[in-house]
Amino acid sequence: MTGQQVRRAMVKLVKRQSHSQRMLWLTPLLALLLSLFSGSVLFFLLGYPPLQTLYTFFVSPISDLYGVCELIVKASPLAMIAVGLSIGFRANVWNIGAEGQFTLGAIAGGALVIYFPDWDNALMLPAVLAMGVLGGMAWAAIPAYLKTRFNTNEILTSLLLVYVAILLLSTLVHGPWRDPAGYNFPESITFQDAAVMPPILSGTRLHAGVLLSILVIATGWVILSRTITGFQLKVAGLAPNAARYSGVHSNQTVWFALLGAGGLAGLAGMVEVSGLIGQLQPNISPGYGFTAIIVAFLGRLHPVGILFASLVLALSYLGGEFVQIRLGLPLGIAGVFQGMLLFFLLASDLFINYRLEFRFAKSTGWIILDIKTWSRPLNW
DSSP 272-341: HIIIII-S--S---SSHHHHHHHHHHHTTT-HHHHHHHHHHHHHHHHHHHHHHHHH---TTHHHHHHHHH
Amino acid 375: pLDDT: 40
In angstroms, the Cα distances linking 285 to 68, 99, 100, 362 are: 20, 8, 10, 60
- Who's near 18: CB < 8 A, 6+ residues apart? 375, 377, 378
Euclidean distance between CA atoms 376 and 137, whole angstroms: 39
User: Could you tell me the pLDDT band of residue 1, with boundaries at 50, 70 and 90?
Assistant: very low
Alpha carbons 207 and 272: distance in angstroms, whole number = 10
The residues spanned by each domain of the chain are 1-48+331-380, 64-328
Instruction: Give the whole-number percent of the chain exceeding pLDDT 70.
Output: 92
State the sign of the Cα–Cα–Cα–Cα dihedral 100, 102, 105, 106. negative
pLDDT at 90: 92
Look at residue 3 in the predicted model and tell me its pLDDT.
Answer: 47
CB distance 78 to 258 below 8 Å = no
What average pLDDT does range 1-28 have in this prediction? 72
Task: Work out the burial of residue 7: count CB atoms within 10 Å of its CB; fewer than 13 is exposed, 13-18 middle, 19 or more buried.
Answer: exposed
| β-strands 354-362, 6-15 pairing | antiparallel
Task: Name the fold adopted by 64-328.
Answer: ABC transporter involved in vitamin B12 uptake, BtuC (1.10.3470)
Q: Which alpha helices (DSSP H) does the chain contain, by range?
A: 21-45, 50-58, 65-90, 98-115, 124-150, 154-174, 209-226, 228-238, 240-245, 250-272, 288-298, 303-327, 333-348, 350-353
pLDDT at 6 over 50: no
Secondary structure of residue 259 in the 3-state scheme:
helix
Contact (CB, 8 A) for 258 and 306: no
Residues 22, 351: contact at Cβ < 8 Å? no
Please, which pLDDT band fits residue 72 given cuts at 50, 70 and 90?
very high
Kindly report, residue by residue over 227-276, the tens digit of the pLDDT.
888 888 888 887 777 777 777 788 999 999 999 999 999 999 999 999 99
**Residue 330: pLDDT above 60?**
yes
Q: Which of 74, 65, 99 is nearest to 319 (CA)?
A: 74
Tell me if 344 sits within 8 A of 30, measured CB to CB.
Answer: yes
Pick from 168, 177, 173, 106: which is nearest to 136 by CA? 106
- Mean pLDDT of the chain, nearest integer: 89
Q: What is the reported pTM? A: 0.90
Distances (CA, A) of 202 to 65, 75, 171, 199, 266: 11, 19, 35, 7, 27
Given a cut of 70, is residue 4 above it in pLDDT?
no
Query: What per-residue confidence (pLDDT) applies to 261?
Result: 97
Question: Mean pLDDT across the stretch 184-188?
Answer: 93
Kindly give the interhelix angle for 98-115 and 154-174, rounded to the nearest 10 degrees: 30
Average pLDDT value for residue range 75-96: 95
**pLDDT at position 7:** 52
Q: What's the mean pLDDT in 45-50?
A: 93
- Residue 359, beta-bridge partner list: 10, 368
- Return d(Cα 267, Cα 352) in angstroms, integer: 34
